[in-house]
Amino acid sequence: MLCLFSPDSEYHFDSMNAGLESPVQFVVHHAKDRGHADHGWLNTHHSFSFAGWHDPAKMHFGAMRVLNDDVVSGGGGFGMHPHDNMEIVSIPTQGALEHKDSMGNSSVIRTGDVQIMSAGTGVRHSEFNHSASEEVAFFQIWIYPSEQGLEPRYDQEPYEPNSNGLTCIVSPDGAEGVRIHQRSWLYTGQLEAGEKLSQPLHGAGQGLYVMVLDGAVTIEGQLLERRDAMGIWDAESVELDANSSCSLLLIEVPMQW
């Protein structure tokens, strides 16, 4: 089992529920505080410690280890490299990403697709911008699996973006979106200004990490704007109040696994 955050992490709880046994707890991650690197061909922001950027207070949120916000220039990309024992989800938001791996998969992941690679006992893969001239932007999320040493697998599915509400694009049984080896659900979608949404969690021990892709939303009295994020746990549901038209990425994970 892993702890939620380091002892120095700053987190909050809902003072309205301070007398309860398990008050709602949350942590706010502002966009300006993310790790950042510009390699020319790659402009990347890290929500959690990654590569050359290390913040002991931002090692992971529950079972989610990595949330990278990547923009790759035309013709650029990541050459063949290895992974193991990790569920790796890629979500393009602009352009298309070309994927090849040691399992024999070769595909193009376009905006409106979601891809998962269960690295399991070990796999090698490459990711390149499918265009020689246009940028590709995508989120890559790493989630610890519920079991070690699984057989590697690959899946890719299109999804229909929801213009008013959320669409589930990753689920444990694959009934919605692609299947992940973890009690984890990923959602993307939009809310209109003034709209409210109550997002339930799948039982005790689960947490929800909400990133605002564009626009503004209020959660637990905290105003979140473009690329701000909040992790919430010890809650049965999370209430979102759209301050403006906004697009969101929601990632539910177990807080211990």
Domains of the chain: 12-254 (2.60.120.10)
Model pLDDT, residue 164: 82
pLDDT tens figures, 40-70: 999 999 999 999 999 999 999 999 999 999 9
Q: pTM of the full predicted structure? A: 0.92
Average pLDDT over residues 231-253: 98
Distance CA 184, CA 226 (A): 24
Q: What b/e readout covers 242-257, taking b as 16+ CB neighbours within 10 angstroms?
A: bbeebbbbbbbbbbeb
Pairing, β 178-179 against β 165-171: parallel
Report how far apart, in Å, the C-alpha atoms of 211 and of each of 122, 174, 189, 224, 253 are: 30, 23, 11, 8, 14
Is residue 245 within 8 A of residue 191, CB to CB? The reply is yes
Q: What is the DSSP letter of 107?
A: E
Count of residues for the chain? 257
How high is the mean pLDDT of the chain? 93
- The residue behind tokens 């590697």 is 152
Distance CA 105, CA 206 (A): 33
Model pLDDT, residue 21: 53
Tell me the two tokens of residue 228: 């701000």
pLDDT band at 161 (very low <50, low <70, confident <90, very high): confident
Per-residue pLDDT for 13 more than 70?
Answer: no
Which residues are CB-neighbours of 88 under 8 A, at least 6 positions away? 116, 117, 118, 119, 140, 141, 142
Per-residue pLDDT for 183 more than 80?
Answer: yes
Per-residue pLDDT for 14 more than 60?
Answer: no
Which residues are CB-neighbours of 18 under 8 A, at least 6 positions away? none
Backbone angles phi, psi at 132, to 5 degrees: -80, -15
Per-residue pLDDT for 162 more than 60?
Answer: yes
Q: Among 179, 228, 243, which residue's Cα sits nearest to residue 28?
A: 228
Task: Collapse the DSSP code of 32 into the 3-class scheme (helix H, G, I; strand E, B; otherwise coil) and give the result.
Answer: helix
pLDDT band at 163 (very low <50, low <70, confident <90, very high): confident
